[in-house]
Amino acid sequence: GAGWIYDGSNFARDGVVLVAINYRLGPLGYFAHPALTQQAGAGMVGNYGLMDQIAALEWVKRNIRTFGGDPANVTVFGESAGGASTLALLAARRSKGLYQKAVVQSGGGWGAPTTLADKEAEGVKAAAALGLTAPAADQLRAVPAADLIAKAQGDFGPFVDGRLMKQTPAQAFAAGRANDVPLIIGSNSGEDSLMSEFGLGAAAVGKALPQAVRTVYAQEAAQSDEVLGRAVFTDRAFGAPARWTAAKAAKGKPAWLYHFSYVGSRFRPAVTRAFHAAEIQYVFEYWGRRTPLSMIKPDDQAMATLMHGCWVAFAKTGKPDCAGWPAYDPKSDQLMEFGAPSGVRTNFRKSRLDAQEAAALPTLELAK
């Protein structure tokens, strides 16, 4: 993929300069090996994709005035892997000052730390698969990109390298060390659409859950193991981390939490939940190449106008001044639901998200 698939025309129409960036992915973006670490000395290693993102932000700072932008009023935002990257940028001190606001759409945020040693071990296995035993750095760099992509296995994303990334985003937010900027963060009602990508069977996940979880999710468990598994995945991977991050961020600059549940008219009634990434076209108020205007109904356009307006206001002022959306406070626990209808919700899925938080936090090494 590439950043050009996101059409920023409507942001530009509304006075916001939008820059879509590209960065290295997979093993080309996040690869480590002892030989490369040794050659780098005290320099940067491994997180090449994140380095690309920081380089792009530095480019914006140097050049955006030429395009009518303000280098002192930059918002960094992304969805899914882009949301995870935005969280990594908030944890990376080197990116401080390159942006003044951030938006995380379905970015997760709870992952056990992956270290440089972990990534180096993956790199050693990849080298062996390529027929290289104890290779020098120049030998690794001589490997054709297609061969490296085919042979390298792992979870390719930002990791704790001790240099650019000294901590995970969760560790940074828990310790109050994340870059302190206004934040919008949230997730969708149908994030379980991702389960197949991870090779997870919803029914098998639901069936394997302990009784304590079934008790909290009694309503879902009563329907089926599949419904239970999908609900738990959505909350554990996205909903609960978003709420927890908003609560931590709110100790500094304000944060706003959202839940997107709107299902486009063209999908109803077969689809009942907003799948992963469904909110993007509403944020951009853009229907894309595969969604002709003939398929768009007035309520779809109304949702796009609302959500896009919130994001535009946030980009301009640092506050999504729309529809009475309050800044997040864990005491009042209010979020904005973009749905049918939209509105402020209090204690949204509280018992379920509390249970997910209690189970997940001990696995995140937050004392680091």
Report the candidate in 324, 344, 111 with the shortest Cα–Cα distance to residue 237.
Answer: 111
**Locus of tokens 């380095």:** 51
Closest CA to 177 of 252, 81, 116: 252
Would you call 58 a catalytic residue per the annotation? no
Torsion of CA 137, 141, 144, 145, to 10 degrees: 110
CA distances to 281, 283, 357, 362 from 286, rounded to whole Å, are 5, 8, 35, 41
φ/ψ of 30, rounded to 5, equals -145, 80
- What one-letter code names the amino acid at 95? S
Q: What are phi and psi of 104, to 5 degrees?
A: -120, 110
Which of 79, 120, 122, 191 does the annotation list as catalytic? Answer: 191
261 assigned to active site: no
Taking the C-alpha atoms of residue 241 and residue 361, their distance in angstroms, rounded to an integer, is: 10
Residue 62 main-chain phi, psi, to 5 deg: -75, -35
**33, 259, 276, 308: the active-site residue:** 276
The 334-338 sheet, strands edge to edge: 75-79, 101-105, 183-188, 255-260, 334-338, 343-346
For residues 184 and 204, the answer to whether their CB atoms sit within 8 Å is no
Q: Is 276 a catalytic residue?
A: yes
Tokens at 113, concatenated = 């730390």
Residue 205 CB contacts under 8 Å (≥ 6 apart), including other chains: 195, 225, 228, 229, 232, 233
CB atoms within 10 A of CB 133: 8
For residues 15 and 316, the answer to whether their CB atoms sit within 8 Å is yes
Q: Which DSSP state fits 239?
A: I
CA-CA distance, 307 to 301, in Å (whole number)? 10
Catalytic residues, which ones?
80, 191, 276
